Structure formats: C-alpha cells, structure tokens
Amino acid sequence: MATITVPHPLPSPEEDAKKLRKAFQGFGTDENAIIEVLGHRTAAQRAEIARTYARLYGETLVEGLRSELSGDFLNAVILWVMDPAERDAELANKALKNKGDWHIWDIWHIWVIIEVACASDPDHLMAVRKAYCSRFSSSLEEDVASRFAHEQPLGQLLVRLVSSYRYTGEHVNEGLAQSEAEELYDAIRIPHHERVIRILSTRNKSQLKSTFNHYKQHYGKAIDEDIESSGSSQFTSMLKVAVRCIGSPEKHFAEVVRSSVLGLGTDEDSLTRAIVSRAEIDMKQIKEEYKNRYNTTLNADVIGDTSGDYKNFLLTLVGSADP
C-alpha cells in the first residue's frame, strides 16, 4: 500500500501551480510549500500540475525546481515529479552508464535493472521500455545486452528479465508450480543457469509465488535462502535479488534502505530511489518488513541519516512513524 496522503478537498492544478510559483519567487525559496504541494499528490496529479505550470508560466516545472533547489533535495524532488515510467527509464540508463568495474561487485547499479524488470507489473515494464527508447534512442534490452556481454550468465538473466512480458492475471497452475519448484531445486544445485532463467523470466508473478511457496513447503527453506547458500558468485547474488523482487519486493527494498544508511556516510542515491519509487506502491509493507527485520523503524533511520529539506521530503513520502 502507498503511504502518501492527498488533501481533501484537493486544490485545483491551477492553485497548486500558483502556490509553487510563489514558493520559487521572492526573498528565498519556500521549501515547505514545495513539499506540501508535491509531496501530497499522486503521479497523475503531479503530471497535471506540471502541465498547468508550463502553460501558465512558459517554463517547465522541472526548470523552476532546478533554479531554486539543490543537492539531494533537488534530486529527490526531480525524480518524484517525473512520470514513473520515464523515471525508471532514467534510473536504468544511469545504472547502465555507470563507469565502475562490474567485476568488483558494483551491485547497486545491477539492483536498479532488476528492480525495474521484476518489482513492478508487466504494463509498467512495457511503459519503461517505451520511454527508454524514446529518451535514449536505443532499447533497454540491447543496452543491457551490450553492457553485460562479457558477464555471463548474469547478462542472459538480465536481458531475459527486462525483455519479458508476463501474464497479468492471477491464474495459477498448481501442478506446474510443484514441478517447477522441484526443477528449481535441482537447477540451483547443479547449477543449471538456463533452466532457472527460463522459469523466472517467463512465468507470471502469481505462478512464481506459488512455485516459491511449494519450494519452501517441500524443502523447508525459502528459495532465496537456498540460492544464497548455494554460492557467492555475482550471478547467484543477483538471482536472489530477482527472486525477492518478484516474490516479496518489500524485503528487497527494506534491504536497499538499510544498506544505504549503514556504515560511514549515507548512500543518498539508493535511499532516494527506494523511497521515491515505492511510496505509491508498497511503502507500507516495506516499513513493516523494515521494523520486523531490523528492530527499528524506517522513519527513525531516515531521521538519523538525513537532514534539512531532504529529510522532510523523504519523511513526507514515507508517512507516519507507525508502520
């Protein structure tokens, strides 16, 4: 469930656009007004505000924000006001253009590709692929294939995941789920990469969740735990992420947030990505998972590792401290 709140009655797009314009003008910027408006509107409402703002003032809302904000607060707000599909296309392209050496476990950027492919519904992935082609004059799948050409079988897994179009219904074939749970059990141990990739990239999410349930019931351990214990290769590490993003994305994004705030310094890019991309999808479940797993609240860790307007904006998106 989403955690953003929308006021009732809802101001008109014209009222919101004028309030934002006023926040940009005068002596200093009214950051609280920007958070009050944009932090409490849905994606469709934000898009309408942006169209109205451009019509009224002859510049885009993003241009207005860039002229007044800076740093992590600016980055978070810009991502938030983007169309969700265009945002994920932008995040995927940035991840693929990363100059780091994939051989030294630059997992953060690979996580982005898997999140885009597996943590949302099939229609959203199709919209992301379309937006990617429009913005970057190449397809997401060909850029993934090119970037990971020498990283096999990881490249095969990622290409198949971003290229998939899964059935969106909830029909489940329990017999198939049971047989493929057995198939996955054997394939993880051999290992038989192609068999695992085929199942994860072709079955719908309801089918795969049933398969994962049969796996745990029959073998006494969750499939992601078995994958983790089967080896420490880059492929197995990312395979575990794919399984979690398909079966229980709240576990993955709780880990993203926790990893971003642990240690020396904060990984603001990962923290922003997790909160902005999930606030309208399943942030409530992520907060519940976070509290159960780490014995603290997501809100508390955001407060402890961020500050100022950036902190206030993230807290607006994640909602109250109660999970």
In this chain, the answer to whether the domains covering 84-163 and 255-318 adopt an identical fold is yes
Do the Cβ atoms of 162 and 116 come closer than 8 Å? yes
Nearest to 157 by CA among 123, 187, 198: 198
What six digits make up the tokens of 18? 């004028």
Q: Domain spanning 84-163 has what CATH number?
A: 1.10.220.10
The CATH class of the 174-247 domain is mainly alpha
- Annotated binding-site residue numbers for Ca(2+): 24, 26, 28, 68, 265, 305-306
Domain ranges in the chain? Answer: 13-69, 84-163, 174-247, 255-318
SS3 255: helix
CA angle 139–98–290, rounded 5-degree value: 95
Q: Which residue has the tokens 């392209």?
A: 93
Give the C-alpha separation, 304 to 274, whole Å. 17
The single-letter code of the amino acid at 177 is: A
DSSP 8-class letter at 103: G
Per-residue model confidence (pLDDT) at position 123: 94
Hey, how many other C-beta atoms are within 10 angstroms of the C-beta on 313? 24
CA distance 7 to 316: 13
Instruction: List strand residue ranges (DSSP E) for the chain, in order.
Output: none
Neighbours of 274 (CB within 10 A): 27
Q: Which CATH class is domain 13-69?
A: mainly alpha
Q: Give φ, ψ of 249 to 5 degrees.
A: -60, -25
CA distances from 294 to 65, 116, 137 (A): 35, 25, 42
The Cα–Cα gap between 58 and 218 comes to 62
226 with 234: CB under 8 angstroms?
Answer: no
Q: How buried is residue 275: exposed, middle or buried, by Cβ count under 10 Å (0-12/13-18/19+)?
A: buried
Q: CATH top-level class for 255-318?
A: mainly alpha
DSSP category for residue 120: S
Q: What is the pLDDT of residue 265?
A: 78
Tell me, what amino acid is at 148?
F
Whether the CA torsion 243, 248, 251, 252 is positive or negative: it is positive
Annotated binding-site positions? 24, 26, 28, 68, 265, 305-306
- Sign, Cα dihedral of 280, 113, 244, 265: negative
Written as tens digits, the pLDDT of the chain (323 aa) is 888 999 999 999 999 999 999 999 977 899 999 999 999 999 999 999 999 999 999 999 999 999 999 999 999 999 999 999 999 999 999 999 875 554 434 677 899 999 999 998 999 999 999 999 999 999 999 999 999 998 889 999 999 999 999 988 889 999 999 999 999 999 988 877 899 999 999 999 999 999 999 999 999 999 999 998 887 788 899 999 999 999 999 999 999 999 999 877 789 999 999 999 999 999 999 999 999 999 999 999 999 999 999 999 999 999 987 65
Given a contact cutoff of 8 angstroms between Cβ atoms, the answer to whether 218 and 181 are in contact is yes
